[in-house]
Copies of this chain bind each other. A is one copy, B any other.
Amino acid sequence: MPQNTDNQYNYQSFQKVARFSKEDFYKQAFVEDCNTIRIKKEKVAVKNLEKIFEATFRICTRKGFQGMTMRDLSTESGLSMGALYSYFATKEELLNTLQRVGNSFITRVMEECVAELTEPLAKLRTILRTHLFLSEMIQPWFFFSYMEAKNLAKKERENYIKAELSTEKVITDILVEAEKENLLRTRNHQIAASIIKAMLQDWYLKRGKYAKRGITVDKYADIVIEWVEVYYLQTD
């Protein structure tokens, strides 16, 4: 079976090489919303946004966004009610902010990751790995975003769906391109992309299960890529 030539691209190298880190997530949140956030000093704001976001993820994993009360969030984050409301106007706004910031963060990273690649198969592998590495790095956000999308208001939910489909489209386009260059079998690429997306999502939705079985994100990436290659490179 054809082997990956991207052995050196693993989670560790992703973290090292990437021009961003988990902290950029909170920085971006501050920069995007500094006009509505009542806290002036970036250092303070970023620190507290981290507290708020992390606390939200922890609580919502257990009881969901609707089940989380502002008192829960206050206790878990260590901030008072008053302090919390310096960062967002309403509970719903907190949800919107989280979704929006996360989406623009991953969009940026995903675009950067293939910017310099031209060979379709290399692009495909890189896209798959990067998506998995990103969802490993900010797994709580991915899980939260998926589970709480239904609580968004109309406009924000539409954005969510658009983002979902965009990931799928990126994969579809690469598959189509690769087939044109006779690198892959003829298949229904849109459906295939859908299936591949389901595999990617399983990683952040069932993070705990895989951890318990000792399957690292690098291992999982190999598995997904193996399924895709077998499906697309198999000869009749």
A positions within 8 Å CB-CB of B: 1, 61-67, 147, 150-151, 188, 190-191, 194-195, 197-199, 201-202, 206, 209-210, 213, 215, 223-224, 227, 230-231, 234, 236
Contacts and interface: CB of A to CB of B under 8 A. Distances in A.
A236 B234 CA distance: 9
A230 B234 contact: yes
Given A67-B66, A234-B234, A195 B223 contact: yes
Given A151-B63, A230-B231, A190 B213 contact: yes
A62 B150 CA distance: 6
Given A194-B202, A194-B209, 14 more contacts: A62-B150, A63-B150, A64-B64, A66-B67, A188-B223, A195-B224, A195-B227, A197-B202, A198-B201, A198-B202, A230-B230, A230-B231, A231-B231, A234-B234
Chain A contact residues: helix, strand, loop or mixed: helix
A63 B66 contact: yes
Q: Which of A65, A199, A213 has the most B CB atoms < 10 Å from its CB?
A: A199
B231 A227 contact: yes
Q: Which of A147, A198, A199, A234 has the most B CB atoms < 10 Å from its CB?
A: A198
A231 B199 CA distance: 14
Nearest to A226: B231
A214 to B, nearest CB: 11
A202 B213 contact: no
A65 to B, nearest CB: 8
Nearest to A200: B198
Nearest to A197: B202
Q: Which of A63, A190, A202 has the most B CB atoms < 10 Å from its CB?
A: A202
Nearest to A60: B150
14 contacts: A64-B66, A64-B150, A66-B67, A147-B147, A188-B223, A191-B215, A191-B223, A194-B202, A194-B206, A195-B202, A199-B199, A201-B202, A230-B230, A231-B231
| Ranked 7 nearest A-B pairs via Cβ | A198-B202, A66-B66, A66-B67, A234-B234, A198-B198, A230-B231, A64-B66
A28 B176 CA distance: 48
A66 B151 CA distance: 11
